Amino acid sequence: MKDRAWSYSVLSAFELCPRKYHAEKVSRRVSEKSNHAADYGTEVHKAFENRLLRNKKLPLDLRHHEKIMVRLANHEGESLPEQRIAINADFESTGFFDDDVWCRGVVDFGKLKEPNLLLVDHKTGRMKEEFDQLDLMAVMMFHHLEEVENIIGVFYWTKNKRFTKKNYARSDIADIWGDFLPRVEKFQKAFETDSFPAKSNFLCKRHCPVKDCKYNGS
Ligand code: SF4
């Protein structure tokens, strides 16, 4: 059986609750609840992209990020627009919608000055001290841009205008995959065995459309 294509958000949704993930994304027997936070995030990403790559003014409600945008725009190197990147199961770069896609990812903004890359992801949610998503984006960029040897990975937390960052070297590739592959194996195994059990979590009470689950509402 061919491996299922995945991304960080797919893996996270599966790990949070396999049953909800399957109902929403695989069988599609339920519709996902509309998500204002996600809509807001999309708006912010678009406004930042317009500011950083097209020098368009930020809308008034985001104008307080201007100084940060200037810092990012002035960072040394060539500005990279949003990068929609994908690799195949042999860890080779491939087209985002190609048949052999194994893993996909999107990088919001980058500055490339060979052999260094600044990789930026804008986060509109609650700040966390977790880096696995950044780890995945960094390793994908190493596969995608073979000239890159060092990456400074940065989350920009828009709610409190703070950065969290992590440095990567090309020699980190094996360690990063060593952390991710067991997680991906569980994801692929679920498809092989058609096993997507319910896993109670913070969404059960009010934010899950799978009404026939015994945890729904509790
Ligand atoms: S109610 Fe909770 S456990 Fe049940 S499918 Fe939804 S998220 Fe999963």
Which atom of ligand 1 lies nearest, measured to the CA of 19? Answer: 5
* 79: in domain: yes
* 209: in domain: no
Distance CA 182, CA 195 (A): 17
* 218: in domain: no
- How many CB atoms neighbour CB 41 within 10 A? 16
Helix, coil or strand: residue 3: coil
pLDDT single digits (tens) 153-211: 999 999 999 999 999 999 999 999 999 999 999 999 999 999 999 999 999 999 899 99
pLDDT single digits (tens) 142-161: 999 999 999 999 999 999 99
Q: pLDDT at position 176, please?
A: 97
44 band by pLDDT with thresholds 50, 70 and 90: very high
Domain with 49, as residue range(s), is 6-193
Distance CA 12, CA 134 (A): 13
pLDDT single digits (tens) 97-111: 999 999 999 999 999
Distance 194 CA to ligand 1 centre (A): 17
Q: How many domains does the chain have?
A: 1
* 12: in domain: yes
Could you tell me if the CB of 204 is within 6 A of ligand 1? yes
What CATH number does residue 44 fall under? 3.90.320
Could you tell me if the CB of 148 is within 6 A of ligand 1? no
* 132: in domain: yes
* 73: in domain: yes
Residue with CA nearest ligand 1 atom 7: 204
* 202: in domain: no
Could you tell me if the CB of 216 is within 6 A of ligand 1? yes
Distance 31 CA to ligand 1 centre (A): 14
* 212: in domain: no
